[in-house]
Amino acid sequence: MTSLYIHIPFCVRKCEYCDFYSGVATEHDVDRYLDALEHELRLRLPDGFAPATVFMGGGTPTRLSEKQLLRLGDALRSHIDLSNCAEFTSEINPGTLTPEKAVALVCLGVTRASFGVQSFDAHFLKALGRAYEAGTATQAVEMARAAGIQRISMDLMFALPGQTLDHLREDLNAALAHGTEHLSLYALTFEDDTPLTRQLLNGEVEPCPQELEREMFTVVGETCAANGVRRYEVSNFARLGAECRHNIVYWTLGDWHGVGAGAHGMLDGKITRNAADFHAYSRALLQENRLPEVETEQLSPMARAESLLLMGMRLTQGVELARFRQFAGVEFASVCGEAAARLKRQGLLEMTPTHVRATPAGLLMLDSVILELASGMEQPA
């Protein structure tokens, strides 16, 4: 089955670390964007489309008003059959949620709320450009549960400038105290052309020492495991049965349509990319009556298998060998066998009859493991 990603590219303000496509917009811009989004649903999706999962991200979907969220729900129901949808996630920045918006999300079809908390510490929120959200996470979770949203996930960041192991433990304990079923823990990365990176280059902040970041990675895993929230992906932890089904589609290189400005999709190895400009996106759909794609790319069989390694090795279960063979047209051992043997001897890789996966030590240096495996995969001329 095919999934659906919906991009809402609007924010109250841009966070200091963020390089995802988003921007500040007027209410007129948002309403025009919703017109365009409905038109893209009409042009892109097949009749009777029934997604396996839906994920609404951004930006900040809850930057939309209650009325705009309800309008989006009407558009979705006009073009999509949600009767067999196993999971409908919406990203939420805690400071933008109201009880009315929470109810509107449920009317829209949302069953899972993914809260971008990042930290419970006001000092670190300020440094990340999110001071306005200090102290709002608890109330936002209560609003979501009261409205009937079934699953709660939280995103936290670590390896922040000035953060200690004690700071991290406090954030983890605060998140777990909310009874969240799912946690995503991401180490801060300094992305190109972001305010935080400019602060780094100007000597205004210092990055977390590498050894401390490795200690934090270990503490995250140990704390979550001790509380019954197991790692199932290098940065994601869930109680049994609460794994994010939509993200598993990405990590196993499944099929999904992407709608909205800046959205990517993939169908049978063909990647689509929409214009990452909500003005250009709306103009293409509303004035030119065409899909806003700026690029499409058909992956070769080996490139598709390499992408499967890149994504699938993030999972603790690893990559299914039969799926690798399905994409590449050859056995894993024939192209990656030598590299896999070296990594196995180093204690970084495990092989089973059905899967190849990183060991706990391998997860600590996953980028190197993946590069080593991919070294034997020559691309056709």
Domain-embedded: residue 295: no
Shared domain for 13 and 155, answered yes or no, is: yes
Report strand pairing: 319-320 vs 293-298. Answer: unpaired
Q: State the Cα–Cα distance between residues 29 and 291, nearest whole angstrom.
A: 19
Q: Which two tokens stand for residue 113?
A: 């709320």
What is the percentage of the chain residues whose pLDDT exceeds 70? 93
pLDDT at site 16? 45
Domain-embedded: residue 33: yes
Residue where one domain finishes, among candidates 215, 250, 285:
250
pLDDT at site 17? 47
Confidence band (pLDDT; 50, 70, 90) for 372? very high
Shared domain for 167 and 246, answered yes or no, is: yes
Domain-embedded: residue 255: no
Shared domain for 32 and 147, answered yes or no, is: yes
Using alpha carbons only, how large is the chain's radius of gyration in Å? 21
Q: What is the CATH number of the domain that holds 355?
A: 1.10.10.920
Shared domain for 212 and 314, answered yes or no, is: no
3: helix, coil or strand? strand
Shared domain for 98 and 29, answered yes or no, is: yes
pLDDT at site 131? 61
- Say how many domains are in the chain: 2
Alpha helical stretches, state H, 183-244: 195-201, 210-226
Domain-embedded: residue 381: no
Q: State the Cα–Cα distance between residues 151 and 112, nearest whole angstrom.
A: 4
Domain-embedded: residue 87: yes
- Please determine, for residue 20, whether its predicted confidence score (pLDDT) is greater than 60: no
Shared domain for 57 and 200, answered yes or no, is: yes
pLDDT at site 46? 95
Shared domain for 244 and 326, answered yes or no, is: no
Read off the pTM: 0.92
Question: For 13-27, 155-169, 243-257, which range has the lowest pLDDT when averaged over its residues?
Answer: 13-27
Residue-wise pLDDT for 176-202, tens only, equals: 999 999 999 999 877 766 776 777 778
Shared domain for 45 and 138, answered yes or no, is: yes
Residue-wise pLDDT for 315-365, tens only, equals: 999 999 999 999 999 999 999 999 999 999 999 999 999 999 999 999 999
Q: 187 in the Ramachandran plot: left (φ > 0), alpha (ψ -120 to 50) or beta?
A: beta
Of 244 and 210, which is predicted with more confidence? 244
Range of the domain at 118: 3-250
Residue-wise pLDDT for 48-102, tens only, equals: 999 999 999 988 999 999 999 999 999 999 999 999 999 999 999 999 999 999 9
Q: What is the CATH number of the domain that holds 200?
A: 3.30.750.200
Domain-embedded: residue 270: no
Domain-embedded: residue 86: yes
